Structure 1
Amino acid sequence: MRSEVSVTFKDHPPVRLDLNEVQPMPHDVARGWLDEEFTRMGCEPLRPTGKLLIADKVLVVAQAAGPARFADARWAQEFARAASAALAKPLVHIDVATLSISY
């Protein structure tokens, strides 16, 4: 089964991260990795209620990272592994400009 995470930023080519030959990240480890990055980058919840869904966390971490952080292949690969595992989906497309995720 094909496994890929793609991230699209406005005015930048999409970042495609192939996970076919990569060891999957355990779900709890993925959530922990995203939590750490969310805190380290000083991210804020998307919703005014403060409720933070895992999909929201994936979106805001991608947004805070920006195209420059995704240029770091090692970090980008870890993000892709974490996003795929946390969302429990093999194919994930993150559109940062519209703050949306599709599967």
Structure 2
Amino acid sequence: MRSEVTVTFKSQPPVRIELHDQPEPMPPEAARRWLDEQFTQMGCEPLRPTGKLLTADKVVVVAEAAGPEKFADAQWAQAFARAVTTALGRPMVNIDVTALSISY
């Protein structure tokens, strides 16, 4: 099954991360933990004023904090894509950082 995460930043070409050669998907608990760790390490803040943090919001905020520079690290980008596809339960994920949105 084809699996890909695309991240779009303003004034940058989209970052495409293909996962077709991955031996196994990341386990769900590991995916959530990885995203939580990145969220904390990067000093991210919830998008919603209520403080409620949906998984999709966390993905967008981590992508925004990482910026194009972090996605240039192929190992980090692969880990991000594996965590995202597992946490969201979708093989194809498009993240628009400028619009703070996700589409499938």
CA deviations over 1:41-68 (Å, ceiling 9, x no partner):
0000000000000000000000000000
Unpaired runs of 5+ residues, structure 1, are none
Counterpart residue number, 1:62: 63
**TM-score, with structure 2 as normaliser:** 0.97
Partner SS state of residue 11, structure 2:
coil
Counterpart residue number, 1:89: 90
C-alpha displacement at 1:2, in angstroms? 1.3
Could you tell me how far apart the structure 2 residues matched to 1:34 and 1:93 are? 17
Counterpart residue number, 2:43: 42
**TM-score, with structure 1 as normaliser:** 0.98
**Pair 1:74-2:75 in alignment:** yes
AA aligned to 2:56 is: A
Partner SS state of residue 32, structure 1:
helix
Q: Taking every aligned residue pair, what percent have the same amino acid on both sides?
A: 70
Moved more, 20-29 or 89-98: 20-29
Counterpart residue number, 2:11: 11
Unpaired runs of 5+ residues, structure 2, are none
CA RMSD of aligned residues (A): 0.5
